[in-house]
Amino acid sequence: MIKLQSKLFLLVGVITLSLFNFSCFLFEDENNDNNTNQEDSSTKVEIIEQDIQNTSTQETAYIPGDYSLPKELSYIDKTDDYLVDKFYPIGWSKDGKFAYITEPADEGSGLYLFELVVFDAVNNKNIWSWKPEESEEGSLSSTWKNNYALFKEKLNEYQIEQENNIELKKGKTTFKGNEYQIVLDTKTQTDPDFGFDMIKEIKITINSPELGTKEIYQSKTDEYSMYIGAFVPGYILSPYNGRIVVLCQLEQAGYEGPPNIVFFQLIGSDLLLGFKQKSQS
């Protein structure tokens, strides 16, 4: 009888242990499935987030758009005593093109003067410009309105993005931890015929304590230029990269005396490339 009870207890124990092991196996398998699903879900989330980040850092394709009449940007403090070329910046392209309108000063012709220019600030040259036919009739708003279809086509062709709040920045500037100072040097000589000093050579450099010096403009004038003053009032920074256009303000003696004429010259420059360190003597 005792032997029979022992056998029964042993059989029950084996069955119980088997059931326990089976239930543990099921629980472990379910756990493994849950862990696998959690890992897959986590991996997908990371991939999705990475794709979003990569997309956000890529340059977006240019989308052609409309343009509004740009606002004038003053680059000279006193205009009452001078005939001044007016300057209306439009905006930049991502590859360094800068578009603007100028209304050149009129020294007695009686004509309305207007020019829209697309300036390549990488190669320092005008790549497209437009002037109306000579006429005494015209204004900024009417010329813009009457020729807007052409202006829109060309500005979109060169992928110019309009900026409505372009500023003429002055003084020192910094970019990516580097400091910059724009320096203008001129050489003058007294003209024997007119008896006053005229500018014979203009040179503009950008100095950076970190990068060195970079010459961005040099020009020798002839006897007909009649430049009697030069000044760098500031620069315009591209919103897309470290490129600027420096505004060089030039004063030219009036043909028949005062008032003198003030106009501007644009010079493009990269803020990271082309600098040379001074050799140690």
pLDDT of amino acid 241: 86
CA distances to 159, 189, 225, 235, 273 from 228, rounded to whole Å, are 38, 10, 9, 22, 32
Residues 224-237 have pLDDT tens digits of 788 999 999 999 99
Average pLDDT, stretch 12-17? Answer: 42
pLDDT of amino acid 280: 58
pLDDT of amino acid 100: 98
Minimum mean pLDDT among 74-83, 152-161, 208-217: which range? 74-83
Rg from Cα positions in the chain: 36
pLDDT beyond 60 at 108:
yes
Average pLDDT, the chain: 81
Read off the pTM: 0.76
pLDDT of amino acid 281: 52
pLDDT beyond 70 at 33:
no
pLDDT of amino acid 59: 64
Question: Considering the chain, what percentage of its residues have pLDDT values greater than 70?
Answer: 78
Residues 142-196 have pLDDT tens digits of 999 999 999 999 999 999 999 999 999 998 989 999 999 999 999 998 877 777 8
pLDDT beyond 50 at 95:
yes
Minimum mean pLDDT among 21-25, 80-84, 150-154: which range? 21-25
Give residue limits of the domains in the chain: 82-270
Strands 115-120 and 97-103, by their bridges, are antiparallel
Residues 245-260 have pLDDT tens digits of 999 999 998 877 789 9
- Rounded Cα distance between 138 and 42, Å, is 66
- Rounded Cα distance between 150 and 155, Å, is 9
Q: Quick one: pLDDT band at residue 66, thresholds 50, 70, 90?
A: very high
- Rounded Cα distance between 46 and 152, Å, is 43
